[in-house]
């Protein structure tokens, strides 16, 4: 069975478990927050990314362009016919809902003017990848305040088209002060 043990940036234990893996994005938001201020102009990471990783990052950039500019057709192409993720299924099972892209991309609903930085990618296999970035939304907060979100996307390669398609997009508040 799966076993885990977590240490924070100070080297202190914050949890452990046996059985199901933890929701790692929640752990990041609660225990592994950034130690420095994040900025909209932070550079993207290009560690050990190969050509396929670069391709996933290009699709991530298309996703954000479509999201920010309200491009429905582009969003439908990026999202495609991806199967629902376990996380989405769990939300729906517990009474949640999925809004259609038409409503999410409306003028007042979409994050117009949002900036992203610090993009990175990891390929899990030849047909599964994850991307991350930091989002700086501008229209969802009171004037004079700033928001910073850690975003993670899961991608699957469509076996028919050989294109990367979005399966899951999640965000959490992501600042050194977040609790």
Between 54 and 26, name the one with better pLDDT. Answer: 54
What is the CB neighbour count within 10 angstroms for residue 103? 9
122, β-bridge pairs: 130
List pLDDT tens digits, range 62-77: 999 999 999 999 999 9
Q: Look at residue 46 in the predicted model and tell me its pLDDT.
A: 57
Regarding predicted confidence, which is higher, 4 or 155?
155
Tell me: the pLDDT tens digits for 119-142?
Answer: 889 899 999 999 999 999 887 666
Integer Cα distance of 90 and 104 in angstroms: 21
10 Å CB burial of residue 154 (0-12, 13-18, 19+) is middle
Give the pTM. Answer: 0.80
Average pLDDT in the chain: 82
């Amino acid at each position: 069975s799966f076993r885990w043990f977590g240490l924070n940036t100070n080297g202190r234990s914050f949890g452990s478990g046996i059985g199901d893996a933890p929701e790692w994005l929640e752990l990041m938001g609660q225990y592994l927050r950034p130690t420095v201020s994040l900025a909209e102009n932070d550079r993207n990471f290009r560690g050990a990314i190969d050509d396929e990783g670069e391709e996933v990052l290009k699709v991530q950039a298309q996703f954000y362009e479509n999201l920010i500019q309200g491009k429905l057709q582009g969003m439908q192409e990026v999202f495609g016919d991806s199967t629902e993720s376990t996380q989405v299924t769990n939300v729906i099972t517990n009474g949640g809902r999925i809004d259609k892209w038409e409503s999410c991309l409306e003028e007042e609903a979409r994050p117009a003017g949002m900036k992203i930085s610090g993009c990175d990618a990891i390929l899990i296999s030849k047909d599964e990848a994850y991307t991350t970035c930091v989002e700086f939304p501008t229209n969802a907060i009171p004037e004079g305040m700033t928001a910073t979100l850690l975003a993670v996307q899961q991608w699957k390669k469509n076996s028919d088209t050989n294109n990367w398609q979005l399966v899951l997009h999640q965000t959490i508040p992501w600042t050194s002060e977040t609790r």
